[in-house]
Chain A
Amino acid sequence: MSDHLTVDVVDTDVAFREALDESSQETRAGFLQKALVAGGVIAAGGVVLGGLPKLVTAAPSPSQDIQILNFALLLEYLEAEFYAEALRNGALSGETRSFAQVTGAHEQAHVAFLRKALGSRARSKPTFDFKDTTRDQAKFQATAVLLEDTGVAAYNGQAQNLTKKTLAAAATIVSVEGRHAAWIRDIIAQNPAPNAFDPLKTRAQIEAAVGQTGFIKAS
């Protein structure tokens, strides 16, 4: 990579993945926990400090785009399967069901798009266990809010790491996730837009949030 910065660079995203491949017993959350304690994470994914230049792990590059898009693909797989399963289980009614149908179709379109763009580099679809969140409408609704909000924060956090062309494409997706989030929030009478500025989250934070759900059984 040509544009290394002068700070010590560790490509934590790749390191994370390689380590996980090696330590399949560990959950992602557990691995992350250790990494943080050991202080081995150098600005993982880039914690964005207001106004301070981002301590990037690497400048945008096509190879980094692939990693990030595979990260996005994981989230899209998760959302698509979540909605599909809830519908299959017949757990939803009324507008929540309409929401799941429309949104689920969108997530499947996102999956298809990312798989096509990544081609042979596309990651495989994980196995999920959604527990009773796809069997109970109230739990479904709360989970949908979490997943959509998380998707927004995930894409937004990676925007600065993407090459511009990939950012343009990702931008066409993330606003739709924002629409989804507002829609399901309004359905359950939560504030559709809780912040004036949507938070940007690092990859580590997203991985932790997703890990906490326990939805990903096997990668």
Chain B
Amino acid sequence: MRKRLGGSIAALALLALLGFAIFAYGREPATATAFALPAVPFVEAPPTDTDGSKAAGDGEPFVLSNSNGVSRWATVAEPVQVRAEPDAEAQVVARLKTVTPEGTTNAVLALQRVSRGGKLWVQVRLPILPNNTLGWVPRSSLGGYNVVTTHLVIDTKRLSATLYRRGRAVFRSPVGIGQRRWPTPTGRFYIRNKLTKYKNAFYGPLAFGTSARTAVLTDWPAGGFIGIHGTNAPNLIPGRVSHGCVRLRNPDILRLATLMSVGTPITIR
């Protein structure tokens, strides 16, 4: 029985005071002089290709996401004005809320970090129009970093989706994309949330919300976000069939969901 603490100190304190009936612990062979806890190898931190070996000085940006190996996303912890530069006086590019239209915690892809005048700023990928807009927010406006090692690539010419993990392809499937008059936007985006257990066969068994938006259907309700979802018309896939969303056949989207987490960067080309 595992309990998720969910960040609540009350839960933590309660947990500390509650007991569990029985626990088991390993019994290991003796060592000569040292108390032998269960033998644990030297646990090296899993390598990432954003490991720094020198300190980033004031002003020098440090890369947090590079799409090929490691990306980082963070929640929007408080409503914040996004600026064109890492400067509190710079032009406001967007305003981020803490919640998405679907009611999930708002999240942004964190691209790089810089220190200016002793304050940390993070460049983020924004879920706004025009697509592919970036901006800077104070580090203090974001939650903790979450690391993902996956990268989804949608090829609008081959009509395919490929998921890479640390640069290796681990999933491929055909896709349906937007009709030519309602094209699926190209560029770089990220998975913002996951929708499940709704009852709407048009979208299949589950859907992913992305940061991408249709540039042509500007009066679509709820912002016209591009989703990646299943379908009740699998025979249309592959094809140019939608209002901009990326459609997968239902078995494919279910499989993709076991491999791809929220925060995964997306490249649509």
Q: Write the residues of chain A forming the contact surface with B, with a CB cutoff of 8 angstroms.
A: 47-52, 195-197, 199-201, 205
Contact = CB atoms under 8 A, between A and B. Distances in A.
Interface of B: 25-31, 33-38, 40, 42
B42 to A, nearest CB: 8
Nearest to A51: B27
Nearest to B40: A196
A202 to B, nearest CB: 8
A65 to B, nearest CB: 21
Contact of A197 (B25, B33, B35): B35
Nearest to B28: A50
B30 A50 contact: yes
Nearest to B34: A199
Contacts of B25: 51
Main secondary structure of the interface of A (DSSP, over half): loop
B258 to A, nearest CB: 35
Contacts of A199: 33-35
A204 to B, nearest CB: 11
Nearest to A160: B35
Contacts, number: 36
A49 B42 CA distance: 21
Contacts of B30: 47, 49-50, 52
A50 B33 contact: no
Contact of B33 (A51, A52, A196, A205): A205
Nearest to A53: B27
A205 B27 CA distance: 23
Contacts of B31: 50
5 contacts: A49-B30, A50-B28, A50-B31, A51-B26, A51-B28
A52 to B, nearest CB: 7
A50 B28 CA distance: 5
B33 A201 contact: yes
A197 B38 CA distance: 11
A93 to B, nearest CB: 32
A197 B37 contact: yes
Q: Give me the 7 closest cross-chain CB pairs, A-B, nearest first.
A: A50-B36, A51-B27, A49-B30, A199-B34, A50-B28, A200-B35, A48-B35
B5 to A, nearest CB: 24
A201 B34 CA distance: 7
A199 B42 CA distance: 16
B162 to A, nearest CB: 41
Contacts of B34: 195, 197, 199-200
Contacts of B28: 50-51
A149 B145 CA distance: 38
A48 to B, nearest CB: 5
A47 to B, nearest CB: 7
B238 to A, nearest CB: 53
A52 B27 contact: yes
Nearest to B32: A47
Nearest to A50: B36
Nearest to B31: A50
